[in-house]
Structure 1
Amino acid sequence: MKKTLPETIVTAGHPDHVLLTAIATEISDRAGGELALAARFAAMLRQCVDDVIMTPKTGRRSYDELEKTEKTYIGTRVEIELRAMLRLPKGKLDTVILGRDVDIKNTMGSNWMIPTEAVDNPCILVAADEVRALCYLGLIVARPDYLTFGKNKDGKKSVSALGFANILWLLKEHPYPPNFWRTVPADVIERIFAGQSGNQRMANLFREVQGLPITRDVVEAVAQQQDFMRRIRSDNGRGTRDHLAREGVLLLSGHYDAPLITALGLPACSGSEFISYKPLSQAEVDLAATHGIALNRGN
């Protein structure tokens, strides 16, 4: 997305203000409030992109490596997932909100392509900036005055430079979870996926990447097993947590081990995240023991 965006002029007195603020309120309410919308939207967008990149299966680590058809599919996936998240029906365009047909447009670049059938209708504008890890959610009435004069071969126009000021933003430059694999060196990824079994790959993941929260989606992708949650827990000495404990490495769950994570001064984890850590002192080993986790003291 563009690094510099104009301030919105969609305020009281603007011809689109009443309609767009009503739609914005409806979207926020359907998501469970502004905070819930921000969290759920960012997570949904991240998953839509990552599910197409498919790092564990393809070795690709970024959006730029996708085929053209895959990039197009992300837009379709975002439309479907956003409708499901907000429990919105399908309409003549992509959806219907407050009785109005609304189009949903997604971009991983700096603008959106508006089809002729969406002109003069409200549009939900979605954008993800993979490089800066930011996301955007806005509303615009696609009036001809807000669009470019030129068209692409499909007859679609984009939002003009002046048109950007007519976007009402629900989320603007909002933090967006970075693609985990973009943050991991290539040689580390190779070592992680060198494991022949799900347990081995998960152990490699938490052995190689310590002190950072790792999402459930990443763990599931590495494990490539339906019962990965069972494998990650202690499992009569066979689970990933057991293997790492024998090496003196803690594997902690944000849901079950939050007190120990806090006591060790590690980054906070959500209930669906995990973090690994190798204690640096006997005091930290003893602290883990008081929380019911015995480590191999020889390491």
Structure 2
Amino acid sequence: MKSNIPESKIVEGHPRFSLLSAMKDDLINRAGALRSICSEIPPLLREAIDVVIDTPRTGRRDYEDLEKTEKTYIGTRVEILVRSYFRLPKGKLDLLLLGQDADVKFTTKNNWMIPREAVGKPCLLLAADEAEAKCYFGLFCADEEYLTAGANQDKKRQVSAEGFGHILWVFCKHPLQPNFWRTIAEASAEAVAVQRTGNDRVVTLFREVQGIPIAREVVEATARQKDFMRRIRADNGRGTRDRLAKEGILLLSGTYDATAIAALGLPPTGKSEFVSHAPDAAQFKVVPRRSIPDSFVLK
């Protein structure tokens, strides 16, 4: 996204102030609070992108690796998720807000593409900046004077440099959780992706990525199985926990193994997170017995 976003000119006296501020208030009321929007919309954007990149299946880690049709689908998915989140009806455009047709536009670049049918209409502008781990959500009326003169082959235009000052921000430069697979070594992501079964992928994930809490959602996406939690447990010696134990690696749950995690000096692990670790002999002595599988082999 642009690094030099100007201060919003949407204040009292602006011709679009009444409409955009009323729309913002309505969205806040629907969500319950502004803080709810700020805490819940960024994960929604993260999920919309990551489910299409699908690193455990494809080995891809970057939005730019996607096909054009996949990028279009992400924009459609964001539209659907935003409409559902705010419980808004579909209109002639993407949704109806305060009885007015509005378009939902999403980008991972530094601008939005505004179609001809949205010119003069309110728009919900959302963006995810992967490089900076920031996200944006603003309200904008796509008036002619706020759009670029030039258009692409589809007759879509962008928000002009002047137009950026006429966005009423719901949030701007808000933290966006990075794609998990971009935070680990590329070789580790590839090692997971080449595995043929869900169990093998999860075992490889926790073997390759130790000492870092991994969210349940990442494990579920990696396993791609209906009962993935059964696999992450011992599962009569066939599950992830027992297989790792035979290699001298503990698989610990933020819910059930908080004491062991603290004793080993591992990072705080949430209740819906897991962390793996291969303890040495000295560390092994401080691990509560309940956290050690019978099959554990000290390396």
- TM (norm. structure 1) is 0.89
Instruction: Give CA deviations for 1:179-224 in whole Å, capped at 9, x if unaligned.
Output: 2222232322233344443222211111110122222232123212
Paired residues for 1:68-147 under 5 Å: 68-147=68-147
Q: Secondary structure at the match of 1:288?
A: coil
Q: 2: distance between equivalents of 1:190 and 1:157? A: 38
Q: 1: distance between equivalents of 2:235 and 2:148? A: 60
Matched, 1:204 2:204: yes
Q: 2: distance between equivalents of 1:88 and 1:286? A: 56
Paired residues for 1:261-276 under 5 Å: 261-262=261-262, 264-276=264-276
Q: 1: distance between equivalents of 2:17 and 2:256? A: 46
Q: 1: distance between equivalents of 2:33 and 2:256? A: 27
Q: 2: distance between equivalents of 1:13 and 1:262? A: 56
1:57 maps to: 57
Counterpart pick for 1:294 among 276, 292, 295 = 292
Instruction: Give CA deviations for 1:3-42 in whole Å, capped at 9, x if unaligned.
Output: 2211112223322223222222222333342333223211
CA contact (8 A) 1:285 1:297 kept: no
Instruction: Give CA deviations for 1:53-85 in whole Å, capped at 9, x if unaligned.
Output: 222222222111111222122111111111122
Q: How many residues align?
A: 297
Paired residues for 1:214-233 under 5 Å: 214-233=214-233
Matched, 1:253 2:253: yes
CA contact (8 A) 2:45 2:78 kept: yes
CA contact (8 A) 1:253 1:274 kept: yes
Q: 2: distance between equivalents of 1:243 and 1:202? A: 11
Q: 2: distance between equivalents of 1:129 and 1:86? A: 23
Give 5+ residue unaligned stretches, structure 2: none
Deviation at 1:286, TM superposition (A): 4.2
1:184 maps to: 184
CA contact (8 A) 2:148 2:157 kept: yes
Q: 2: distance between equivalents of 1:186 and 1:257? A: 29
Paired residues for 1:234-245 under 5 Å: 234-245=234-245
- TM (norm. structure 2) is 0.89
Structure 1 residues 22 and 259 mapped into 2: Cα distance closer, same or farther (>3 Å)?
Answer: farther
Give 5+ residue unaligned stretches, structure 1: none
Aligned-residue identity in percent? 53
Deviation at 1:174, TM superposition (A): 1.3
Matched, 1:19 2:19: yes
2:31 maps to: 31
Structure 1 residues 263 and 162 mapped into 2: Cα distance closer, same or farther (>3 Å)?
Answer: farther
Q: Secondary structure at the match of 1:235?
A: coil
Q: 2: distance between equivalents of 1:3 and 1:25? A: 27
Structure 1 residues 42 and 260 mapped into 2: Cα distance closer, same or farther (>3 Å)?
Answer: farther
